[in-house]
Amino acid sequence: MRIINRYIAREVLKTFSLMLVMVVGIYLAVDFFEKIDDFMEAGLPISRAMAFFAYKVPFILAQIIPISALLAVLVVFGLMNRRNEIIALQSSGVSVYALLKPAMAVGLFCFVLMIAISEGVVPVVTERANQIWLGEVRNERVTVSKEKNIWIKGHRRITHINLFHPPSGTISGLTLSDFDGAFHLSRRIDARTCVFENGQWVLHDFMEQIRQPDGSYRTTFHKQRPLAFSVRPEALTRVVKRSEEMGFRELLRYIRKVEDEGYAATSYRVDLWAKIAFPFICIILCLVGAGIAVKTTRHDGMPLSIAYGIGVAFLYWVFYSFCLSLGYGEILPPAVAALSPNLVFLCLGIFTLSHAE
């Protein structure tokens, strides 16, 4: 029995690797033809473009590992069904449920692989990819640190943003430093908040320091005033890391920081729970795929099994996105929104296996 398990696991892993290479290759080819003109217009060497696309590979892998695992299980079991190997094993007294062990082992392997890539690789390489795209291709003079600090260098001005909250378009902790021709600090503004309202930025509760001719600084305090700031909220949103570009601990620190500033972090908490729930779908989809494959008859053919698998993957992604949207809208608690798709599809996998024998 161990030989059979090793054989099935080896075939699933081979097919899984082939699926990953094919999907990543197609994705990179499409992305390459969309963005190569931007690299050429920026005058960057081809090596920088290749580095940019190489940095995107781990993020792509983290998204497609579950689907590739599902299709690999369907293909291998479909081929075994087509060659009557499953019937031969059953005739020898091997239960169909015993054949699930290698499929579950592959699902567990994909689960661990996905966590390792998402937590250890994606945050680092995605930051480097953004530096190439924003700093070298788009030439946007904006820098983002891991602690969510944003630095913007302009003409005789350095702007520091402590925290930007994209859903509300609010800056928390804004510092503007203006310099004269001799690089002396001519004015500094420290604002508690800055909100984008009616097409313009508005400062709230800020202190302004202006350099006097004798070198001293006059300090005044204000409640509210419009600010001439050329950076739009869309530009800040592009440079702020998304939840999927942060590791679990980094996202948890960011949630605490947002809540300490007095803002709701519901959407980030949904994403935090999604980071916990999403890797488990590797195991669940392997279970579903095995159930579909062993219940499909030889006359149905492998293409029908693959069509079932693609349909299941599509339904999961739609239902998963729908549940997360309910979580973002505070209709469902974050944990329920992220875990509900897994629970539903786990029940589906158990149902497909209920009459497998």
CB-based burial of residue 279 (10 Å sphere; 0-12 exposed, 13-18 middle, 19+ buried)?
buried
Q: What gap in Å lies between CA 194 and CA 215, rounded to an integer?
A: 28
Q: Are 11 and 76 in contact (CB under 8 A)?
A: yes
Number of helices (H), then strands (E), belonging to the chain: the values are 11, 7
**What is the predicted pLDDT for the residue at 166?**
74
Mean pLDDT by 10 residues, the chain (357 residues): 80 89 89 87 85 89 88 83 76 75 87 88 82 74 56 81 78 88 87 87 91 87 86 72 76 81 78 90 86 67 73 88 90 92 89 72
Interior angle at CA 191, CA 189 and CA 193, nearest 5: 150
Closest CA to 170 of 270, 269, 261, 255: 261
Q: Provide the pLDDT for residue 147.
A: 44
**Domain boundary assignment for the chain:** 2-139+261-353, 149-235
- What is the per-residue pLDDT across 26-80, written as a single tens digit (0 to 9) for each? 888 988 888 888 888 888 888 888 998 999 899 888 888 988 888 888 888 878 8
With H, G, I as helix, E, B as strand and everything else as coil, classify residue 152. strand
Q: Output the pLDDT for position 190.
A: 93
The token duo for 346 is 């786990």
Residue type present at position 110: C
Question: What was the pLDDT predicted at 9?
Answer: 86
The DSSP symbol for 43 reads T
Surface-to-core class of residue 30, CB atoms within 10 Å of its CB (0-12 exposed, 13-18 middle, 19+ buried)? exposed
Q: Is the Cβ–Cβ distance between 266 and 327 less than 8 Å? A: yes
Is 0.85 surpassed by the pTM of this model?
Answer: no
